[in-house]
Structure 1
Amino acid sequence: MDGGSGLNIMYAKTLDEMGIDRMNLRPIRAPFHGVIPGFLGTFHAILGRPCYAKFMAVPNYTYLKLKMLGPCGVITIGTSFRRAYECEVKCCGHASAIVTSEELATLREEVIEETPDAKRSFGSFELAKGSKEVLVDPSSSEGKKVCIGTALSSE
């Protein structure tokens, strides 16, 4: 359960074990990032906010329970604290293996090549072409400004 995530992940191996034919899968238009392709996790699936909303499920992290409405009443899915601890330990070991892997080192090199200019300070802002700065409140002495586009169509 990851209520802070906007991403739902289910591994192909999990789908296979559930007997779900991959022909039933369809692409989504939602972008996702921060996932390293080819690396298996220690979980069967990661369920985030989209899944909870779709199934009207309620996670409770304190009691390690997930509740949702089912056809015959409330479905409760839970685990033990010992199992949660074992998964956490396994996950930490798995993460360490990923961090030291050669494939991740290659990905890091690619990211370094795409890193923005280090001389440019964070928080600096350059106006784009076709935009101008306008005072948010002309009667205020604060001088706060907002950047607006000048080349937008009336639509």
Structure 2
Amino acid sequence: MTPPFLQWSESAITFNQTDHLDSVLHPGRYLLVVDSIVSLKRLTKVLMDGGSSLNIIYAKTLDEMGGDRTCLHPTRAPFHGIVPGKQAMPLGQIDLPITFRDQFNYRAETLTFMVVGFLGTFHAILGYPCYAKFMAIPNYTYLKLKMSGPHGVITVGTSF
């Protein structure tokens, strides 16, 4: 009996010397910040945080994208770890399409984002729900994110 494989599991994802940056002064010191397209808007500062259990988008980013706050679903679940020593209460949550791409290959999925009312350095923070949905693999030494796409592996380099 053949096991039911997950969609997008057909491509092996590896890292090698071709992924090496021109200069890696302090491997592991820098954040993995990528470009992505969220609701047809290009966001250039999206933090890939594999330690986070949430996908977060800032209300200011949503407003600048032309997002409609009336589409927010209420949530009463506070979270911790963003504002040191304090809990944060989201304004609500919203489902948004997000696309990762390279020059010839792209992949889009819908993610649930917690919308927060405070300011941050990034446009959004993507946590392990994003990694799981895209079956994405980060490499913090090479500052690359890889995932399967319709035409092979998609490699997204850092934008920061």
TM-score range, shorter chain: 0.3 to 0.5
Which structure has greater helix proportion? 1
Query: Scaled by the length of structure 1, what TM-score is found?
Result: 0.41
TM-score, structure 2 as length reference? 0.40
Higher relative contact order by CA 8 Å / sep ≥ 6: 1 or 2? 2
Which structure has the larger Rg?
Answer: 1
